[in-house]
Amino acid sequence: MIRVEGISKEYKQFARSTGVIGSMRNLFSREHTLLKAVNEISFSIEKGEAVGYLGPNGAGKSTMIKMLTGILVPTSGMVTVNNLVPHKHRKEIAKKVGIVFGQRSQLWWDLPVQDSFDLHKRIYNIHDTDYRTNMNIFLELLNLKEFITQPVRQLSLGQRMRAEIGLALLHNPDILFLDEPTIGLDVIAKDNIRSFIKQMNREHKVSVLLTTHDLKDIEEICPRMLIVNKGELIFDGTVDQLKSNLSPGKLITIEFESNPGNEVELANADLIADHGIRKTFKIDKGLDSAIDFVKRVSKRYPIKDFSLEDSDIEDIIRMYYRSLDNDNNIGIANQEKMSVI
Ligand SMILES: Nc1ncnc2c1ncn2[C@@H]1O[C@H](COP(=O)(O)OP(=O)(O)OP(=O)(O)O)[C@@H](O)[C@H]1O
């Protein structure tokens, strides 16, 4: 469905001098440097997949979405969406994809929301039956009925985003590109948007490619994620793979029958919180060693209860991004690069 082969995008970045003399100089000299915003990236996305596209600021995410939707022309490499080259077949591609840019609107600002949907129907030549079916779905699931007659400029951010997503899906596209769809939304609005996107993906088989800084978006919607850094693809795998490869460990909280003091056997574990009979340990490896640890401890000290916690995905990604900054990607990032890509 989406094929990206060795795609790169270079931007010319012009050096601009400041001050009056500098401004005069800018008129005549156009010195520039080349920035590789996307550097030889390859991946493919199959029908019905939901993929998160993740990376620190400036990693090249929006640039990739713009190339996939035909807004930008790649400097080199091949990209096809439904076997079409996006920048050469913009009209045909537009019929097959829906696009939502969190920071930009596709709705008509001064018109009631309904008018944007009616205009979209005409532009995309949507059949009356399809239009009615989809409008009914969106009125209910996105709760558009709450504000469908209001001008777009009067909508809250959450309402506007619901309308944007409905509009992007009105012509039954095969693929939905979302560039930071939950940016600036409150927790409830984010939840609503996520469950709607998930439903469209799972039930209607709309493929989804989503860029975001909110890892909950990825966790909720996308079983697979691609991570980019400085234009390069550095991870392609599932959220669970990333978690198990990078997880700093599991936390085990044990409630003892009585306080065992400092004598608890600590092999393979760090004591990170000590509240007498309740102690929390961090285990470096996976689930097996955590259970082994509990078994071992329980043989020597009577245990009332215990609980296991995974590291939060936010912690894992934070650690991953930090490792990218260190030692030119030596360490976790490179191990990951080798083991997953
Ligand atoms: N039109 C442009 N001209 C020159 N440089 C650009 C242009 N657009 C983007 N860039 C540069 O390309 C790099 C990648 O930008 P891009 O917007 O794709 O990153 P991003 O991952 O979407 O970032 P963010 O998470 O901050 O939105 C950045 O260094 C940016 O400054």
DSSP string, 261-299: GGGS--TTEEEEEEETTEEEEEESS-HHHHHHHHHHHHH
Q: For residue 231, report the distance from its CA to the centre of ligand 1, in Å.
A: 10
Each residue's pLDDT expressed in tens, for the chain with a length of 341 residues: 899 999 999 998 777 777 777 777 777 766 778 889 999 999 999 999 999 999 888 889 999 999 999 999 999 999 999 999 999 998 899 889 999 987 788 899 999 999 999 999 999 999 999 999 999 999 988 999 999 999 999 999 889 999 999 999 999 999 999 988 888 888 888 898 999 999 999 999 999 999 988 888 888 999 999 999 889 998 899 877 877 666 666 778 889 898 887 666 556 677 777 888 888 887 766 555 777 888 888 888 889 998 887 666 666 677 677 666 654 443 333 333 333 33
Instruction: Please state the separation of Cα 97 from the chain's center in Å.
Output: 18
Q: Which atom of ligand 1 is nearest to the CA of 64?
A: 18
Mutate to test the pocket of ligand 1, among 8, 9, 35 (most ligand atoms within 8 A of CB): 35
d(CA 63, CA 10): 10
Q: What is the pLDDT of residue 25?
A: 73
With a threshold of 0.90, tell me whether the complex ipTM lies above it.
yes
Q: What is the pLDDT of residue 341?
A: 37
What 3-state DSSP class applies to 47?
Answer: coil
Instruction: Please state the separation of Cα 147 from the chain's center in Å.
Output: 28
Q: What is the pLDDT of residue 73?
A: 95
Report the nearest-CA residue for atom 4 of ligand 1. Answer: 11
Report the nearest-CA residue for atom 7 of ligand 1. Answer: 11
d(CA 85, CA 247): 39
What 3-state DSSP class applies to 324?
Answer: helix
DSSP symbol at 112: B
Of all residues in the chain, what percent are helix, strand and coil, respectively (each to 5)?
40, 30, 30
| Domains of the chain with CATH codes | 2-236 (3.40.50.300), 249-309 (3.30.70)
Report the nearest-CA residue for atom 11 of ligand 1. Answer: 37
Q: What is the pLDDT of residue 209?
A: 95
Q: Which atom of ligand 1 is nearest to the CA of 180?
A: 27
Q: Which residues are within 8 A (CB) of 269 and not within 5 positions of it... i.e. 6 or more apart?
A: 252, 281, 282, 283, 284, 293
Q: Which atom of ligand 1 is nearest to the CA of 13?
A: 4
Q: Which atom of ligand 1 is nearest to the CA of 231?
A: 14
Ligand 1 pocket list (CB less than 6 A): 11, 13, 35, 37, 55, 57-63
Report the nearest-CA residue for atom 26 of ligand 1. Answer: 57
**Interior angle at CA 55, CA 216 and CA 5, nearest 5:** 115
Longest dimension (CA), the chain: 81
Mutate to test the pocket of ligand 1, among 14, 63, 67, 215 (most ligand atoms within 8 A of CB): 63
d(CA 185, CA 196): 15
Mutate to test the pocket of ligand 1, among 11, 103, 226, 233 (most ligand atoms within 8 A of CB): 11
